Structure 1
Amino acid sequence: MNEQENMIVPSSKEEDDLLTRSSKKIKNVVVGNEKEILQGHWPKLGETTSAFNVGGSSFADKLKGVDRSSDELEDDKGDDLSDDSLSDYSPEEKSKECNDWKCKISESLSRNFPTFHFSDKMKQRLYKAWGTAVIVKLLGRNIGFRALESRLQAMWAKRGVFNLINIGHGYYIVKFTNKEDYNMALTGGPWLLYDHYLIVKPWEAGFRPDKAEIEKAAVWVRIPKIPLEYYDEVALTVIGNRIGKTLKVDMNTSGHLRGHFARICVLVELDKQMMQGFYLDNQEFFIEYEGLHLLCTCCGIYGHRKETCPQRNRDNGCTSEPAVGKTTANADQHVDQKQDEQWRIVQKP
Structure 2
Amino acid sequence: MSFCVVGRLLSNKGFHFDSLRSTILQSFNPLKGADVKLIGDNRWLFRFNHHLDQRRVLENYPWAFDKHLLILHSVDAEENPATVDLEWCEFHVHVHDLPLGKMTREMAEFIGNHIGKFRDVDTDTSGVIWGDTMRIQVSLNVNKPLWRVLKSDHRLVMNYW
Tell me whether 1:207 sits opposite 2:79 in the alignment.
no
Q: 1:149 aligns with which of 11, 14, 25?
A: 25
Which has the higher relative contact order, 1 or 2, with Cα contacts under 8 A spaced 6 or more apart? 2
Q: Residues 105-184 of structure 1 correspond to what in structure 2 (within 5 A)?
A: 130-140=1-11, 144-145=19-20, 146-153=22-29, 157-158=30-31, 160-167=32-39, 169-184=41-56
- Alpha-carbon distance between aligned partners in 2 of 1:196 and 1:249, rounded to the nearest angstrom: 26
Q: Return closer, same or farther for 1:222/1:229 CA change in 2, 3 Å cut-off.
A: same
Runs of 4+ in 1 over 6 A off after TM superposition: none
Shift, 1:168, TM fit:
5.3
Q: Return closer, same or farther for 1:269/1:236 CA change in 2, 3 Å cut-off.
A: same
Q: Residues 179-190 of structure 1 correspond to what in structure 2 (within 5 A)?
A: 179-186=51-58, 188-190=59-61
Structure with greater strand share of residues: 2
Q: 2:118 aligns with which of 246, 265, 268?
A: 246
Tell me whether 1:218 sits opposite 2:93 in the alignment.
no
Residue segments in structure 1 that go unaligned for 5+ positions in a row = 1-129, 287-341, 345-349
- Alpha-carbon distance between aligned partners in 2 of 1:138 and 1:276, rounded to the nearest angstrom: 24
Cα RMSD (Å)? 3.6
Normalising to structure 2: TM-score of the pair? 0.65
- For the pair shown, which has the larger CA radius of gyration, 1 or 2? 1
Tell me whether 1:268 sits opposite 2:140 in the alignment.
yes
Residue segments in structure 2 that go unaligned for 5+ positions in a row = none
Structure with greater helix share of residues: 1
Q: Return closer, same or farther for 1:232/1:197 CA change in 2, 3 Å cut-off.
A: farther
Tell me how many residue pairs correspond in the alignment.
Answer: 149
Letter of the aligned partner of 2:25 in structure 1? E
- Alpha-carbon distance between aligned partners in 2 of 1:251 and 1:193, rounded to the nearest angstrom: 28
Letter of the aligned partner of 2:4 in structure 1? A
